[in-house]
Each structure stands twice: as structure tokens, then as C-alpha cells.
Structure 1
Amino acid sequence: MDKKKFKTVDAYFQSVPKHALERMEIIRKTLKEVAPLAEEVISYNMPALRYHGILMYYAAYEKHIGFYAVPSTHKNFSKELSSYKTGKGSVQFPHDQDFPLELIKRMAAFRYQEKLDEVSG
């Protein structure tokens, strides 16, 4: 990925390497469907969804896609994420492995519902 600063999600996507672009576009579409009230933004120089705060980030790298849906989400899905490289609130989905779209969708839905519950108090 380019090291430039992105102002929009569209600008970010123009810099995504071809080998990662299809997966990134699928994630983008899926997140918009799962979190319809969320706004697409650039945060920490990567695509993110915001609804009363950041819900999740995602980014393309040479060998993987990074997905960042805060620690509570990752904790909730820890068993399913155990075969991936993870951090406190991050997971790497390698390009050379099957794409876990349903897992990403469920994680995004969990995080979105968590935020909806928080906002509705």
C-alpha cells in the first residue's frame, strides 16, 4: 500500500493492490449492509465505519487483510479466530487462505449491535 495520507475511502481503495481489491470490496459492501446507519470514514489512514464512535477498521496489506473490530468483538469470537494471527483487537486474514466472509459478517453484526445497545442505553 502507498504510504500517502488518504482523505476518503474511495481514495484508499484506489491504492489497494489488485490481489486484495476483490476481498476489500466484498468487506466494504458487507459492512455497509450489516451496519446501515454507520458512516464510512478514514481513521488511522484506513477505512472505518463510524456510528457514535468507530465501530471497526479494515485494511489491505501485501499478505493479508487486517480487520479491527475492538477487543470485545475479538473476545466474543476468540475460538473462531484461533487459527488466525490476532492481537487484542485485530485479526489478520491471509490472502492465501479461504476468505472467512461469514465470520467477518457476524463479527461486524456483533459490533454494530453492541454499539446500538450502548447508544440506546
Structure 2
Amino acid sequence: MSIIEEYILTTPADRQEKLTQLYTLIKNLAPKATEKMAYGMPTFYLKGNLVHFANMKNDIGFYPAPAAIDTFKEELAGFKTSKGAIQFPLDKELPIELIQKIVLFRLAENASE
């Protein structure tokens, strides 16, 4: 069992499905990335931090770095965001296609650095 899977098991049961869905999506998109914990959050690392995610009090936090949020700001208009964070509400489905675009963007961004 990976360190991220262990983290997911420590979260409330009603959130584990979404966290597992997010974890599986990122793992499939970035199979060469290293999985670790950073800043207390599940992190995918490939030539630098790729993305983080976390179970938060009122949402699922997704942290793809500021450039990704700027690049996808129009598609993120329905979500609460800050400089480097996106909040996915617990009462809505994860935006899988958007997350996929963001992860692929971050893979390309890290590959060019």
C-alpha cells in the first residue's frame, strides 16, 4: 500500500471515494511520478512537485501551482480558487476532465524546467 493510499484511509469514509478517484486519475496520468507526503499532503513529484491534494474541512483541496490556475481560470470559474489552490466541493462530482487537463499541463510544465 502506498503512502497516499494510507493517507486516504485516515480520512472520513464519506470522502475516501473522491480522494481515491483523484489519486487514481493522477497516478494514471503521471505513472513515472514519485508518490510522497509533502506539507502534510499527498504529493506527486516529477522534476519537482507536480500536484498535491488533501482532505480539507469543507472540501477536497487540489494544489497544482499558480501557473495552472492562471491557465485554466475560465474553466475554474465555478470553483473557489486562490494563488495555488482549488477547492472541490464535497457535494459535487470531481471535474475529471478539468483535473486531467491540469495534471497534463503540470507534467508539460515540469518537463520544460
TM-score (norm 1): 0.86
Cα RMSD (Å)? 1.1
Partner of 2:4 in structure 1?
Answer: 9
Structure 2: which 5+ residue stretches go unaligned? none
C-alpha distance in 1, partners of 2:17/2:93? 13
Aligned counterparts of 2:4 and 2:29: Cα–Cα separation in 1 = 18
Gaps of 5+ in 1: 1-7
Corresponding residue of 1:3: none
Q: Indicate which of 23, 26, 36 corresponds to 2:21.
A: 26
d(CA) in 2 for partners of 1:17, 1:110: 30
Matched, 1:111 2:110: no
2:62 & 2:105 partners in 1: Cα distance?
14
Aligned length: 111
Q: Is 2:96 the partner of 1:81? A: no
SS of the residue corresponding to residue 104 of structure 2 reads helix
Residue of structure 2 in register with 1:47 after alignment: 42
Task: Spell out the pairing of 1:49-68 with structure 2 (5 A cutoff).
Answer: 49-68=44-63
2:64 counterpart (66, 69, 73):
69
Q: Which stretch of structure 1 is more off in the superposition, 28-37 or 67-76? A: 28-37
The one-letter amino acid paired with 1:55 is L
Structure 2 residue matching 1:78: 3-state secondary structure: coil
TM-score by length of 2: 0.92
Q: State the AA in 1 paired with 2:79.
A: Y
Shift of residue 61 of structure 1? 2.0
Shift of residue 102 of structure 1? 1.1
Distance 1:108 1:16 in 2: 23
Equivalents in 2 of 1:18, 1:108: separation in Å?
26
Identity %: 34
Structure 2 distance, partners of 1:11, 1:69, is 21
Runs of 4+, deviation exceeding 6 Å = none
